[in-house]
Amino acid sequence: MMALCIIVFSSYSSMSQVLTSNRQNYFGKYSEKLPTAVSELDKVFNTAEGAKVKINFADFSFNGIVTSYVKRFDNLSSVIVKAPDLDNTILAISKRINPDKSISYIGRIINQKYADGFELRENTDGTYAMNKIKTDALIEDF
């Protein structure tokens, strides 16, 4: 009986890991890695909720409206920007002030209708870039 349970569970979990998304890619024409200036990231945090903002990521411009600005703690702020011209794609970005007073950013550009997006990562030299990701693992079909 125990062996049967293990077989059923392992086949169920392996089937659940198969991606069955039928989403198309949206950002296929853009580079895999888009260098991103910190000054562009800071624009988001210096824009009032409800205002328009344009962020330049190398060969890609993200024009949107700040829909949410939340200061979670003294050292952590998060902003969501929605881009109507990009089929309501979302830029979600957070800024953290570290104990040593340095600043770190994390973020993503995603749209639940599409299978690709970007994730903001810090490079080893301290610069930032938006790196293309497959969002099928992040967003489930319903």
119 Cβ contact list (under 8 Å, min separation 6): 107, 108, 130, 131, 133
CA distance 59 to 28: 13
What confidence category does residue 83 fall into, taking pLDDT thresholds of 50, 70 and 90? very high
pTM: 0.78
Asked if pLDDT for residue 43 goes beyond 90, the answer is yes
Asked if pLDDT for residue 117 goes beyond 90, the answer is yes
In the chain, where the domains are located: 24-136
Asked if pLDDT for residue 141 goes beyond 90, the answer is no
